[in-house]
Structure 1
């Protein structure tokens, strides 16, 4: 399929699909988004009209079965990802799915096993994008011994501010739609995995501060997804990892990750997306220049199409890495529920 045109079908056309995926595919030679299926035909038609998409489908089953579609881009909430990936693969389609990968680790393993049954079909998860420009530099510095042996990693992430009782219910707060995913926790863990690898054990405390919220229609929803978690991990590569992730802390410091080693320290500024470093003989931290050859950027659609054409392998993000972060996010809830240390992998 190196030179053949590639027809893309969209299942779910939410914000990221409209902002990123449709323009991303449109920018590539020989790639056309030819079909869309959204939650209703009317909403699908609006997307088609906005972006000049030829076909609108009444059901995702109809889109997946269309022999003229070569690849599927899944933009639904996580509760549909496993079902759609399996059906797409069985119908001979390449498939890219929005993050988070799945509802839970079991679904993620099922998706990975299905992908292995169809090795000629490309599978990809939309990656965590926020540190793409820093990742290669962080890995290079750690690999070259800039920090020495990594001893401890500390991540402090806040998505909100003070407790807001009036904030409307969000689908990420629904177990039915989101499963074991907790806020944006998996996004940051995915980035940290790129630098120091996965966790071997997880211990967690979790709190749900606001237990009821109303949606835009005024319907009340009971919430069991935590809005504050404290996590302590042992990493296979040696260090400990502490993550504080919260949606309810007012005047919290800006999002940041600190990587402490025997010879130096790295600080990831998660607000301004900058990297700082300092070694033993330095008086403090200074900004690390990101060399052009190490800079990263959003190229998700390009990587997907290149993989279909046999030009590169999927790295951002593979189903194998998706399984790892889904095991981690489930382990956080399992530990918080049981009070026990959870060993990975499952």
Structure 2
């Protein structure tokens, strides 16, 4: 850790690069709640939008350019809340300038950028480098991991993931969003990376990927009413062989009418675990059943096992040497970016892609 942030002796001064929805909802207020932390500057796509964020959160300085924060020796850390196309440039520049980094997910545009980010982070071991974690199962993860480790599933046979958050019949007049643009979002497709990150926490990574996808809504109107051709699939089916055994089918869609609720089911030789919505948009619930039992029953989460959102707290604690980053470090995030690239490679080639992409 840097001397100026040694333990809790000094105020931690943080600059915000990109004041988007998540940054305003979670990161800025979350950082401002931490003792001894000051959010001292903000830069956004325009000075006007940065000024709005500064006024909303009482941030004293508006920067015309994110490079101003990189070059400012009085700023100790940077929170990167931009769209993915800026994650690597800002994070790398910040780390090379001696600043800690909290970067919004997905990690980068592609695995090559993510690999470069990891290399720079590893070259600066005294700095904290954290990616915002997949949030949907934080309250369940510890219990799922403990059940699997105790032998609840037996040998893993099959993972069935059906992700339909925000899904409905195709709407050809639905507006263009930055997530629809490979130039801004890179190889990321819908929410598939979020769910793969959660699955990796439980059963580890995949070793092969085969994918099939389609753009059902082939063009959308932008903010000027012009039709923009869609290049990122809105329906996707992925088959994987897992490194620790078993296989996975992952279906992600935003264009299915009357869809089933989202769920991930782990089938083993001795038991089954289901992580599922019970109402649209509601929290995910853990259920399970073992050989000889009648169906699945809800598994209550012990208070000591119930995790939650503490991203900003973990980041500040890591900077101060109180705890390591677990949700999520750059090395873990690189693995889901490699999987994301593998999905894209398989979509284009029609072939199975083997992981890891980088040795």
TM-score (norm 2): 0.95
Q: Give the aligned partner of residue 75 of structure 1.
A: 81
Q: Give the aligned partner of residue 113 of structure 2.
A: 107
Q: Give the aligned partner of residue 314 of structure 1.
A: 325
Cα deviation digits, residues 40-89 of structure 1 (max 9, x gap): 11111111111100111000011111111100000000001110011101
CA RMSD of aligned residues (A): 0.8
Is 2:338 the counterpart of 1:327? Answer: yes
Q: Give the aligned partner of residue 129 of structure 1.
A: 135
Instruction: Give 1:160 deviation, angstroms.
Output: 1.6
Q: Give the aligned partner of residue 163 of structure 1.
A: 170
Is 2:7 the counterpart of 1:2? Answer: yes
Q: Give the aligned partner of residue 3 of structure 2.
A: none
Aligned length: 346
Counterpart selection for 1:39 from 41, 45, 70: 45
Counterpart selection for 1:278 from 283, 289, 294: 289
Q: Give the aligned partner of residue 146 of structure 1.
A: 152
Q: Give the aligned partner of residue 305 of structure 1.
A: 316
TM-score (norm 1): 0.99
Is 2:193 the counterpart of 1:182? Answer: no
Instruction: Give 1:239 deviation, angstroms.
Output: 1.1
Instruction: Give 1:170 deviation, angstroms.
Output: 0.7
Instruction: Give 1:219 deviation, angstroms.
Output: 2.5
Question: Is the Cα–Cα contact under 8 Å of residues 14 and 79 in structure 2 kept in the other structure?
Answer: yes
Is 2:220 the counterpart of 1:209? Answer: no
Give the unaligned 5+ runs of structure 2.
1-5
Question: In 1, Cα distance between the equivalents of 2:296 and 2:216?
Answer: 36
Q: Give the aligned partner of residue 250 of structure 2.
A: 243
Counterpart selection for 2:54 from 8, 33, 48: 48
Instruction: Give 1:217 deviation, angstroms.
Output: 2.0
